[in-house]
Every structure is written in structure tokens, then in C-alpha cells.
Amino acid sequence: MSNYNKLYDKIKNNPKNISFKEIDKLLTKAGGFTRIFKEEMYEKGNGFKRKKL
């Protein structure tokens, strides 16, 4: 069982004791980039442009 599967089981079985870093780690694996990474890239000027509303 991989670390991500263990983390997923931990979140699934007891969601109250999960940190945001653990959720972020799992979402990074499942979905690619996280919101935090995108904001860091935007601040550095490396891609990811925000649209003006």
C-alpha cells in the first residue's frame, strides 16, 4: 500500500484529525497542481496568469 493510499484511508476514516498539508499532498497527487503552488508560480511570474474581472 502506497503512502498516498494510506493517507487517503486516514482522511476517509477520520477526517477531523487531518491537517491541510496532508489534504494538499493528496490533492497534488490526484489533481496535479494545488492552489498554493499556483499562487507561488503567479508571484514569481512563471506562467499562471490571473484573469482580470
One digit per residue, pLDDT tens: the chain, 53 residues?
A: 677 778 778 877 877 887 878 777 777 766 555 555 556 656 665 555 555 55
What pLDDT does 12 receive?
A: 79
Record the cell numbers describing residue 37, joined without a space: 503552488
- pTM given for the model: 0.41
CA distances from 22 to 9, 10, 48 (A): 12, 10, 24
Sequence-distant (6+) residues with CB within 8 A of 52 are none
